[in-house]
Structure 1
């Protein structure tokens, strides 16, 4: 059954908006809490809130979950255990401009993997839209300066971010391949639970070596935001978007993250919004519109 394209676009846009706030929190608390611990607190919160609602669906679909356990495990490890943990680690070892640049590789990975595994066609219009959206992303990431791009220095964190982008692409493809016998709530509940479990001992081990930290009201508020909104709500929206419009189209909306992050930084941190941000937004919007237009069957 064909998906509802406008609804899929809305879900993807809302998910990306929420995740933009997650990046602001990750940058703001980078020195207040170790990265694996932050990821563990995020997913323990999301899982604890969601499991009571998903328990019945998981029990009902248990046989289907067991039949697809390996694919579910890969989705859990890529989308929950590793992706955001690597983003938090990358934030400690590289500059924001580099993170934004390497984040732009995620939709490229998704489009390529969707072509290989889901047979989604890469039309000339989609390819052109992808290039235009990347140009908008680069304009914002480099503040419109070619010199910034040419004189960038690359660190270990850049490779970490590149790996994170690839893992998110793998997760997005697996969501589209979700077995019909597994309900959406059961799928999310299983991936949340399976993905969270490895983070708990990893966080305990990290705290044996990391500097001591305190659960202040600000840190608690940040954990609640990334645990409930950036994890539970945004993942539900993202998975719904993929089911409606496919991973290739949904992934292109990730190019809006630097735009929304810039707006958030303007409101919360007083950072200026410049003409370059406007130009970047126009390029990203134009590219996404081009790339997500309905394609004729091959």
Structure 2
């Protein structure tokens, strides 16, 4: 049964909007809470909130979940355990420009993996759309300065971010391969639970090496945001978008992240919005429209 394209586009756009706040938190709380601990608190919150609603579906689909346990485990490790943990680690070891640049590799990874494993067609128009969207993202990330791009320095955090982008592409492909015998609630509940388990001992070990930190009201608010909105709500929207419009089309909406992050920084941090941001948005929007056109 074909998916609902407008609904899929809306879901992807809403998910990316929410995740833009996650990147702001990753940068804003870099000195307030260790990265693995932040990831563990995020997913403990998401799992605790969601499991009461998902447990009935998980029990009903238990046989299908067990039959697909390997795929579920890989999805949980890539999408839950590792991806955002690596994003939080990257925020400590590289700057925002580099994070945005390496985050742009994810849609490319998804398009290539979708071609290899799902046999999705890659048209010339799609490649052109990817190139235009990347140009828009670069314009925003470098503030329209070629000098910033030329003099970029690469750090360990860049490799971390590149790895995170590839892992998110793998997760996106696995979601598309979800068996129809597993409901959305059961799939999310299982991946949340499986992905959170390794983070708890890792966070406890981190306390021995990380600087002391305090659980302030600001940290609590950040954990609630990334635990409920950036995890539970956004993952549900993202997975739904993949089922409607496919992984390749869904991944392209990640190019809107620097746009929404810039707007968030303007609203909450008072950082200016310039003509470059407008040009970048036009390029990203145009690129996504070209790359997601039906055959």
Give the TM-score of the pair, scaled to structure 1.
0.99
Kindly tell me the number of residue pairs found equivalent between the two proteins: 295
Structure 1 residues 141-187: Cα deviation after superposition (integer angstroms, max 9, x where no partner): 11111111110000000000000000000000000000111111000
Correspondence for 2:110:
110
Correspondence for 1:255:
255
Alpha-carbon separation, structure 1, partners of 2:115 and 2:145:
33
Alpha-carbon separation, structure 2, partners of 1:166 and 1:107:
9
Alpha-carbon separation, structure 2, partners of 1:76 and 1:146:
39
Alpha-carbon separation, structure 1, partners of 2:72 and 2:179:
10
1:26, distance to aligned residue in structure 2 (A): 1.0
Structure 1 residues 107-126: Cα deviation after superposition (integer angstroms, max 9, x where no partner): 00000000000111000111
Alpha-carbon separation, structure 2, partners of 1:164 and 1:7:
27
Q: Is residue 66 from structure 1 mapped to residue 61 from structure 2 by the alignment?
A: no
Residue 149 of structure 1 aligns to a residue whose secondary structure is: helix
Alpha-carbon separation, structure 2, partners of 1:75 and 1:184:
14
Alpha-carbon separation, structure 2, partners of 1:133 and 1:215:
39
Moved over 3 A (4+): none
Alpha-carbon separation, structure 1, partners of 2:207 and 2:191:
25
Structure 1 residues 129-151: Cα deviation after superposition (integer angstroms, max 9, x where no partner): 00000000000011111111110
Q: Is residue 5 from structure 1 mapped to residue 5 from structure 2 by the alignment?
A: yes
Correspondence for 2:22:
22
1:212, distance to aligned residue in structure 2 (A): 1.0
The alignment yields a C-alpha RMSD, in angstroms, of 0.4
**Structure 1 unmatched runs, 5+:** none
1:127, distance to aligned residue in structure 2 (A): 0.7
1:2, distance to aligned residue in structure 2 (A): 0.1
Alpha-carbon separation, structure 2, partners of 1:134 and 1:217:
37
Correspondence for 2:36:
36
Q: Is residue 101 from structure 1 mapped to residue 106 from structure 2 by the alignment?
A: no
Structure 1 residues 78-105: Cα deviation after superposition (integer angstroms, max 9, x where no partner): 0000000000000000011000000000
Alpha-carbon separation, structure 1, partners of 2:264 and 2:76:
29
Alpha-carbon separation, structure 1, partners of 2:183 and 2:106:
26
Correspondence for 1:162:
162
Alpha-carbon separation, structure 2, partners of 1:203 and 1:34:
8
**Structure 2 unmatched runs, 5+:** none
1:209, distance to aligned residue in structure 2 (A): 1.1
Structure 1 residues 218-237: Cα deviation after superposition (integer angstroms, max 9, x where no partner): 00000000000000000000
Residue 3 of structure 1 aligns to a residue whose secondary structure is: coil
Structure 1 residues 262-283: Cα deviation after superposition (integer angstroms, max 9, x where no partner): 0000000000001100000000
Structure 1 residues 5-41: Cα deviation after superposition (integer angstroms, max 9, x where no partner): 0000000000000000111111110100000000000
Structure 1 residues 171-224: Cα deviation after superposition (integer angstroms, max 9, x where no partner): 000000001111110000000000000000000000111111111000000000
